[in-house]
Amino acid sequence: MSDTATLRINGTTIDATFAEAFPMKATRLVITAHTPAWAMNAANSLTGFATSVIGCGCEAGIERTLPGAETPDGRPGVTVLLFAVSSKELAKQIERRVGQCVLTCPTTAVYGGIDAATSRAPLSDRASLGSGLRYFGDGWQISKMLGDTRYWRVPVMDGEFVCEDTALTVKAVGGGNLILLARDIDAALAASEAAVAAMRRLPNVIMPFPGGVVRSGSKVGSKYKGASASTNDAFCPTLTGLSARGELGAEVGCVLEIVIDGLTDADVGAAMTAGIAAAAGLGQAAGLLRISAGNYGGKLGPYHFHLHSLAAGLDGSRA
């Protein structure tokens, strides 16, 4: 069957469209602490106000928690992923966020989480981590080399803040997305929450918006001068029948979007497939009518994730 054939999973229509994503720069940081709670406190703070590069400078999120057996210092940890549009912006965001949110958090240490030997994402640059933050030590800081890696020990009031000198960054992918069209808010929330939960089980991806979900999906440009983005009126239920770009029928009462950033295009594609499977698993009976995606006709970025291709291995029917 061609990609334009109707595809339904559990009664939910999968649109014959694609999500359009674009190149970004990214890194993984490993935050450890005396207890899991304090590692999570630092991770939550570091990833705050990091939903979109449009206004936040970076997109960031918690990837997963780690037991002590999987961290550099044997303590409980949390990994976070940060994405930005350039190496320069990413480096700025790393230093500011670690300095304000991890250095300040009791008992924490921070390490680079990209392994050059095993990374499937193309390596990019090294960003300053402890090499800049060490100056907070006011001359009392100590450098320590372990193998080929430099660490900094900065005296603080609960002991020492340990920080790796630099963090490897990689070429990554941002802007994968799913748009879930539902009968009402309850159905849209249930489908979105199921999709995000499935995606969060996978490595190398984040969903940077609150709870992984965004209601204010945007389009490029605006009628107002100086605004780079504005509401995606094609998917606003209150504008059904009013917007010339309208994509909705009267049966759609709520639309929510999930944005996915990943270290590789394969990671983004895997997350989108998992999200489609989880959301469509609830199906039309639960109020999920369609799954679509946002693109700009292929003009925004080189990564195109076709929904029918992603869903090809899932149980569904074509007509």
**Would you list the DSSP string of 84-99?**
ESSHHHHHHHHHHHHH
Domains of the chain, with CATH numbers?
A: 7-21+173-318 (3.30.70.520), 25-170 (3.30.70.520)
Q: What angle do CA 84, 86, 87 make, to 5 degrees?
A: 100
Q: What is the pLDDT of residues 213-237, one digit of tens each?
A: 999 998 888 989 888 889 999 999 9
The overall average pLDDT reported for the chain is 95
What tens digit of pLDDT does each residue of 174-210 get?
999 999 999 999 999 999 999 999 999 999 999 999 9
pTM, 2 dp = 0.94
Query: What value does the mean pLDDT take over residues 22-33?
Result: 98
- What is the pLDDT, as a whole number, of residue 3? 57
Contacts of 36 (CB under 8 A, 6+ apart): 65, 76, 78
Q: Mean pLDDT throughout 19-48?
A: 98
Find where tokens 């994503």 sit. 21
- Tell me what pLDDT residue 319 has: 54
Q: How confident is the model at residue 1 (pLDDT cuts 50, 70, 90)?
A: very low
Q: Six-digit token pair at 208? A: 């940077």
Higher pLDDT, 129 or 299: 129
Per the model's pLDDT, the better-predicted residue between 86 and 219 turns out to be 86
Task: Give the residue from 149, 197, 131, 172 showing the smallest Cα distance to 28.
Answer: 172
